[in-house]
A = this chain, B = another copy of it.
Amino acid sequence: MQADREPVFGGKDWPPHYTFVPAVRAGNTVYLSGTTATDDQGRITAPGDIVEQTRQIFRKFGQLLASLGGSCEDIVVTTDFFTTTKDYAKTAEVRREFFVKNRPTSTGVMVAGLLRKEALIEISAIAVLRGDHR
């Protein structure tokens, strides 16, 4: 069991002064940071729309995993932290878009707040890549 490890940036610039990275691959496991629906300029993409925010988050996960030869279908765990339950049930439609072949586990809780004020949801995830990516 090797523990080779690399940060994962998905082909994008990442500020060197940030004290975390978007994802870390350790062996075949990929840990994905808690992610909100920001665009490349760091702006929340769909203020007030939890469904579209969820879609943007999985798009970002998809880009990160694609850079490792994977996709959102490799996600095994999702943890949703949301600030409202309004329309949360509708985020299932987004999961159906990204999880066609494989369904991950899910944990979802309402929190007291997220760091980004416009963010309605933050999702962290774990993926396990198929094949041998070491």
Contact = CB atoms under 8 A, between A and B. Distances in A.
Interface of A: 1-3, 5, 7, 18-24, 26-29, 31-34, 76-79, 81, 83, 85, 88, 92, 95-96, 99, 102-115, 122, 124, 126, 128-132, 134
Determine how many copies of this chain the complex contains: 3
A128 to B, nearest CB: 4
A96 B3 contact: no
A33 B95 CA distance: 15
Contacts of A81: 107, 109
A92 to B, nearest CB: 5
Nearest to A2: B1
A16 to B, nearest CB: 9
A103 B22 CA distance: 10
